[in-house]
Structure 1
């Protein structure tokens, strides 16, 4: 006999925990289970700061048992497939679990096979990623003695598209203090056509790039990493469209930023071979190529691109009306961030509550809000907040912090990133409060 729950949630990350917490707090359901195999829940936004040596990695994790909301059943197991026609989820060890309503929020997975050689090189020697091992990133940055410092990212959607450049700005600051900067060329290579898809933010970031003397290389699609010879291989393309907030390409208003491949050219060693362009590096930071988890990708719940097929405004599944999806796994054309989840959860909760009580969904609509806290220096930050259109949409709550314009660098925003957001996360968001 399959175990049955009114609301079954897949994923004990930000989206799953917040959804369960808000449903329980609002007494909308008393039969909730969360399928999650991990022992530890991480506050990943702080990993940028860990990688820059200004946050303790151990403080970013807490036992999953302390995070699962009281009143929700924790099924410590992996989901391995769906039978959505029969309201069933298959698990590895616990058999089949049935539900009235399903919330799919397992986050995303890394697929290193999408960039040849990257899996072998990752987190070894001078190749690092804040996404996988921020402690190794800090080792690489602090031990770097000069040369070509290459910061890059794949052309897949990634968690917070701003992360690959935040660590670059902090690394440059560290090297400037440690006299390594004069012997270093800092390069940012991206498949996108602009530094950022929101004009107000792009303007500020170009000023940061000028101040820090960083070479931007656009239309660079990372296809291979040769760890032995320290070469990152790219295909140069002019029409690549990549996900994530850095590379919302195609907005004609942004073309004035750079119409060519390069900004602030640096003469570093390159090799051109078989139509590919290889940049030789002395240290490399990248984000891993990202996909939906295998059990989601191989199900009938995804769109053509392999992400969970949900309505962009209600988060209801486009085929199964009793399934919702949110967070990184959802096929939503906005950046995959915790800030986006913060705005998605109340809508999913409202819809579930009304379905349970009145068999209809609500009128709340998600506008694509997401935000990337872009750390530009130790003690400085810009907060990129935008919607589906890429329009700058600052949260009015920032006015309470005496921040008039969050598109400009500010030390108060750094304080928000380092102290206030982790506090809000652990003490409010994880407790099911709508902040």
Structure 2
């Protein structure tokens, strides 16, 4: 077996088998932690089996499951509690060992608590699309800066592709690359999780006990997918017909469910705003219906879309085209209907529906259900001095600078700006933050502004997309003339853009600081 020693008290490993527990005990371990949800892979030993083998061998055991790509602050706290309660040394395992390492970092179990960090011109918290794109834009303009990126994950995901994975159009591996390959030249990768901000001291606090000092902070740690906010969801996700394209692990299960369903009831849900890509819940439904339509089984499937919102889509100009597809597919549209519980074994979903002034609970049976989890700012952001009342990092809508800390900027899903939380928004925000951060380092005021641009390519069928592009207040902001692409109508060119052009633009332009069609708009320019 392969053990990776993190400290004298904790090691990690890939998936283990019950018959390997004796070898683990012989290696000196006194406890085992399983960090995998049951049912992730076919043939995966259940946590209960490993736990039983551990107890027979006199070892402590805890099950601290965490969904790959969607690890939450609560997962880190659960890992911390388990490590405090179990006798050491402990072996933690997951599919590859990477998830266990991240949870250990979040639990503060990987470094001495008094370790002091370094000082940088710029510290960027978050190595997702926002962090990498902004770092690349900054270093292209000034490669001599000292810049650090705080990011615990070893994998980087092209999340806009997960809808296409759920429809069987992309392979999920197409959406994943090693984080190390994407860190811009000249940036230092701090492979750890942030646990808090101390802006009065110009410091970022890390889960491993260190802190980093900065002249300018750029915060873009993403959004928290709160799978636990819907009782019963985490326990059944990935089985019993319950799936979500909001997870790298479960998007392929969406495609499997859709292709296997020949009749019955299919539910699609959307929680209260804000969420990542407000059109994604609908995209899952449209593409599924299109698959059923082509297979000749759509007439035998009761399709329901349950959205917590009062409208189908927040920008009215795009609604007529979307309603045509709702009618074409015979989908039942349920407005102000919020998923509040799920029983996977019984295949029952419970919705809270607003009808006038009355709130009622309705149970719906399902054969498959695509769930979008409620979403909030990360826990350490909500509890920080940087948080707005919404919990997200407070910023000026135009400059993306914090109103009380002039050397702090935020962008992406974690900032409080009222734009749509999409990768297209990040493409536009990153150059703005880059030039404004550099101006701040020079002692100047911000020099560029952001118009709220976001884009949502609504995949209404394979081969056609309604390309919604809009800014603050829902103002349409089309990138192309209407004779080429009319965003309010389904377009084959928009499909080509989504399927063929945007993925390489993401990997080879946006994350490299090449600002194709997104040069920052200069204030007064």
Q: TM-score, normalized by length of structure 1?
A: 0.88
SS at match of 1:275: strand
35-44 or 343-352: which moved more? 343-352
Shift in Å, 1:12:
0.7
1:13-52 superposed matches below 5 A = 13-27=128-142, 30-52=145-167
Shift in Å, 1:297:
1.7
| Cα displacement string for residues 183-233 of structure 1 (whole angstroms, at most 9, x for unaligned residues) | 101111111122112222101101111122111110112211122222221
| Separation in structure 2 between the aligned mates of residue 425 and residue 236 of structure 1, nearest angstrom | 39
| Cα displacement string for residues 23-57 of structure 1 (whole angstroms, at most 9, x for unaligned residues) | 00011751100001111111111111100001111
The yes-or-no answer on 1:428 pairing with 2:515 is no
1:373 maps to 457
- What is the aligned counterpart of 2:302 among 164, 182, 185? 185
- What is the aligned counterpart of 1:389 among 473, 488, 495? 473
Contact in 2 for aligned 1:111/1:291 (Cα 8 Å): yes
2:442 maps to 357
The yes-or-no answer on 1:95 pairing with 2:176 is no
1:63 maps to 178
Structure 1 residues 239 and 20: alpha-carbon distance in aligned structure 2, compared to 1, 3 A threshold: farther
Q: Bigger relative contact order, structure 1 or 2, given CA contacts below 8 A and separation 6+?
A: 1
Shift in Å, 1:383:
0.6
| Separation in structure 1 between the aligned mates of residue 342 and residue 273 of structure 2, nearest angstrom | 16
The yes-or-no answer on 1:106 pairing with 2:221 is yes
| Separation in structure 2 between the aligned mates of residue 331 and residue 116 of structure 1, nearest angstrom | 27
Contact in 2 for aligned 1:19/1:432 (Cα 8 Å): yes
Contact in 2 for aligned 1:52/1:138 (Cα 8 Å): yes
- What is the aligned counterpart of 1:204 among 318, 321, 324? 321
376-385 or 289-298: which moved more? 289-298
| Separation in structure 1 between the aligned mates of residue 369 and residue 257 of structure 2, nearest angstrom | 9
| Separation in structure 2 between the aligned mates of residue 346 and residue 141 of structure 1, nearest angstrom | 39
- What is the aligned counterpart of 1:290 among 367, 375, 383? 375
SS at match of 1:360: coil
2:276 maps to 159
Structure 1 residues 434 and 94: alpha-carbon distance in aligned structure 2, compared to 1, 3 A threshold: farther
2:263 maps to 146
Could you list the runs of 5+ residues in structure 2 that have no partner in the other structure? 1-115, 517-525
SS at match of 2:364: strand
| Cα displacement string for residues 54-75 of structure 1 (whole angstroms, at most 9, x for unaligned residues) | 1111111111111000010011
| Separation in structure 1 between the aligned mates of residue 450 and residue 362 of structure 2, nearest angstrom | 40
Structure 1 residues 341 and 238: alpha-carbon distance in aligned structure 2, compared to 1, 3 A threshold: farther
| Separation in structure 1 between the aligned mates of residue 335 and residue 478 of structure 2, nearest angstrom | 27
Contact in 1 for aligned 2:231/2:340 (Cα 8 Å): yes
Contact in 2 for aligned 1:5/1:99 (Cα 8 Å): yes
| Cα displacement string for residues 115-134 of structure 1 (whole angstroms, at most 9, x for unaligned residues) | 22222222222010000121
Shift in Å, 1:359:
3.0
| Separation in structure 1 between the aligned mates of residue 504 and residue 293 of structure 2, nearest angstrom | 31
SS at match of 2:449: coil
Could you list the runs of 5+ residues in structure 1 that have no partner in the other structure? 241-260, 262-273
1:345 maps to 430
Task: Name the larger-Rg structure.
Answer: 2
1:254 maps to none
1:325 maps to 410
| Separation in structure 2 between the aligned mates of residue 384 and residue 52 of structure 1, nearest angstrom | 20
Contact in 2 for aligned 1:28/1:353 (Cα 8 Å): no
1:269-284 superposed matches below 5 A = 275-284=360-369
| Separation in structure 2 between the aligned mates of residue 73 and residue 82 of structure 1, nearest angstrom | 19
SS at match of 2:473: coil
| Separation in structure 1 between the aligned mates of residue 351 and residue 407 of structure 2, nearest angstrom | 43
